[in-house]
Amino acid sequence: MNENIVKRNEKLAQKVIKGLESRNMNGFYAASKEEALQMALKFIPEGSTVTMGGGMSVREIGLFDALKKGNYQFIDRDEYADRREAMLLAYDADIYLASANAMTEDGVMVNIDGGANRVSALAYGPKVVLMIVGMNKICDDVDGAMKRARNVAAPINAQRFGLDTPCSKTGACMNCKSPDTICCQFLITRYSKEKDRINVILVNDDLGF
Ligand code: SF4
């Protein structure tokens, strides 16, 4: 990454962390993917029940592989014949891992979901949520974050899953009501009622989309 972007991200991350703290959430800064992995592993006690949503960023820092190999009760929904069963187990997990589709400079998170298992678990259920967020997800305000989620994250995810949506073909949101749409539920997280429940590691790198 360009060194000027790295410096700008270092400063901006501090602003995001203050914003998170003002919203009863915790923010941490990692200078690299490697540092983010070490921070996340320190955060997750061995033996914990851990699960996650789609979470490209979780995979990109190596956390998914580390948890699968390590001494954790990792619920991998892809290993369950009944995915609903795995998703319901997530609501009682010790730690739920995810990323955000977008986040504002003052710490508000925006997430879009098709099946809603991810946004519902972020909102309530797992005892602790740990988010891995690349600085590429940071936007000026909620409007910008919503636009990013609709026009960047959702079309790329629709293409990734081979869905029959207008954005899969055009790369831009057409505000569809296709049966395949992944834009069913929108979660804006602006405050956490429970202290220390929502934790965000901001990574000075591009992660996910
Ligand atoms: S509303 Fe439809 S077209 Fe827009 S991003 Fe979502 S799935 Fe794609």
Q: What does the pLDDT read at residue 109? A: 98
Show the ligand 1 pocket: residues with CB < 6 angstroms: 150, 154-155, 158, 165-167, 173-176, 178, 181-183
Domain 3-203 listed as CATH 3.40.50.10420: yes
Instruction: For the chain, give every domain's residue range.
Output: 3-203
Q: Encode pLDDT of 63-81 as tens digits.
A: 999 999 999 999 998 899 8
Atom number, ligand 1, closest to the C-alpha of residue 112: 6
How many whole angstroms separate alpha carbon 116 and alpha carbon 20? 23
Q: What does the pLDDT read at residue 194? A: 97
How many whole angstroms separate alpha carbon 68 and alpha carbon 31? 24
Mutate to test the pocket of ligand 1, among 174, 177, 178 (most ligand atoms within 8 A of CB): 174
User: What region, left, alpha or beta, does residue 62 occupy, with left being phi > 0 and alpha being psi -120 to 50 degrees?
Assistant: left
Q: Encode pLDDT of 109-168 as tens digits.
A: 999 999 999 999 999 999 999 999 999 999 999 999 999 999 999 999 999 999 999 999
Q: What does the pLDDT read at residue 38? A: 98
Mutate to test the pocket of ligand 1, among 164, 167, 170, 184 (most ligand atoms within 8 A of CB): 167
C-alpha distances out from residue 24 to 20, 74, 94, Å: 7, 27, 19
Q: pLDDT-based confidence at 31, cuts 50/70/90?
A: very high
Q: pLDDT-based confidence at 1, cuts 50/70/90?
A: confident
- Partners of residue 50 on adjacent β-strands: 74, 95
Q: What is the pTM of this model?
A: 0.95
Q: Indicate whether 102 pLDDT > 90.
A: yes
Q: Indicate whether 12 pLDDT > 90.
A: yes
